Amino acid sequence: MNPYIGHDSQLYGVEEHRLIGGKGDGIRLLEVHNGKGMELTISPDRNGDITRLRFRGINMSYMSPCGYVAPAYYDSIGTNWLKSFTAGFLTTCGLEAVGSPCEDGGETLPLHGSIANIPCEQAYWTDEKDCLVIHTVTKDEIIFGRKLRLYREIRVSKNENSFAIIDTVENTGDRVEPFEILYHLNMGYPLLDEDSIVEIPSEQVRPRDDHAAEDLEHWMRIEKPSVGYQERCYYHDFSGQKGRASIYQPKWKMGLEITFDREELDCFAEWKMMGIRDYALGLECGNCYPDGRDVMRRKGILKFLKPGEKKSCHVTITCVEK
């Protein structure tokens, strides 16, 4: 026990709040601070995703014009997922589908799947010696269909400004299920502007389409917000076991680094959206690309989970100053 303090929250801790008003009315939020300058907001009513990340009081993530939207407003038709796309620092895409709406395996699949709009069945936190741990369980289970369960730990260090996302997905049903997951990590202003330095040490960069190919040589350049900007997406191929991407803002002398295990997450997409108010950079590791499940199946990239099988994914985010 520290004799200088009356309550642990003087140094670090987790507080639970609820939103009042608007489309976010009633949403639970866990406000986490590690005592070293890093603050996270986690939403148990949205799969335990991370809606805000701040470092030394500076916002690091993008919040879409939707703001907070409760799961009751989710619309699975076509691209209507965008109407409840809070973005935030992390929106999890999957588990049944990632990317473009499509028809596959007899299913009509929505944009980016449904997991980000499912409330957690369980959400609690524990205080361990070196970290605060947020535990959540989300059940994407339906009658006559898929039965997938996501167990999540967000381990926030009390010694340094980093945290790890550890997800385990289990097939609790009796049939083989397609399994897609993508970590839609969204950088935003003031971390993100035309002075930001983006580094992705990949071996190869591939444009998603002809529009992205027109500006391939400038994949790492961040522009000012511009009218009528059309999103550009690039796929990065890494060598070795570790994948890495980083962004640094020289004006604030701070940034962040994302690392992940390529044996678990073998795909990486960079999403550039430099529009007016739609101003974000997605650094997105996953086990698929955001082209739709039908495309992944045709290319032989689609992953599956057998009955009772579990697969884990690890992503680490480190805030840096220099």
pLDDT in tens, 264-304: 999 999 999 999 999 999 999 999 999 999 999 999 999 99
Per-domain boundaries in the chain: 8-321
Per-residue confidence (pLDDT) for residue 236, from 0 to 100 = 98
Pick the CATH number of 8-321 from 3.20.20.60, 2.70.98.10, 3.30.300.130, 3.40.50.80: 2.70.98.10
Structure tokens at 274: 């430099």
Mean pLDDT value of segment 54-58: 97
44-54 burial, b at 16+ Cβ within 10 Å, e below that, comes to: bbbbbbbbbbb
**If residue 293 lies in a helix (H) or strand (E), which one and from where to where?**
helix 293-299
22-35 average pLDDT score: 97
Q: Fill in the DSSP letter of residue 61.
A: B
Computed over every residue of the chain, the mean pLDDT equals 97
114, burial (CB in 10 Å: exposed 0-12, middle 13-18, buried 19+): buried
Over residues 197-226, the mean pLDDT reads 98
Residue 258 confidence class, pLDDT cut points 50, 70, 90: very high
Tell me the mean pLDDT in the region 88-103.
98
Contacts of 177 (CB under 8 A, 6+ apart): 96, 146, 147, 148, 171, 304, 305
Give the pLDDT mean for 235-243.
95
Q: What is the dihedral of CA 258, 259, 264, 270, to 10 degrees?
A: 40
Does the pLDDT value for residue 161 go beyond 90?
A: yes
Q: What is the pLDDT of residue 1?
A: 80
Radius of gyration for the chain, computed over Cα atoms and rounded to the nearest angstrom:
19
User: Residue 97: which pLDDT band, with cuts at 50, 70 and 90?
Assistant: very high
| C-alpha dist (Å) from residue 252 to 143, 219, 243, 322 | 51, 23, 25, 9
Q: What percent of the chain is predicted at pLDDT more than 70?
A: 100
131 pLDDT tier (thresholds 50, 70, 90): very high
Say what the alpha-carbon torsion angle 288, 291, 297, 300 is, to the nearest 10 degrees: -60
Contacts with 114 (C-beta within 8 Å, 6 or more apart), sequence order: 74, 76, 96, 140
> What is the spatial order of strands in the sheet that 90-95 belongs to?
90-95, 180-187, 279-286, 267-274, 232-237, 204-207
pLDDT, position 201 = 97
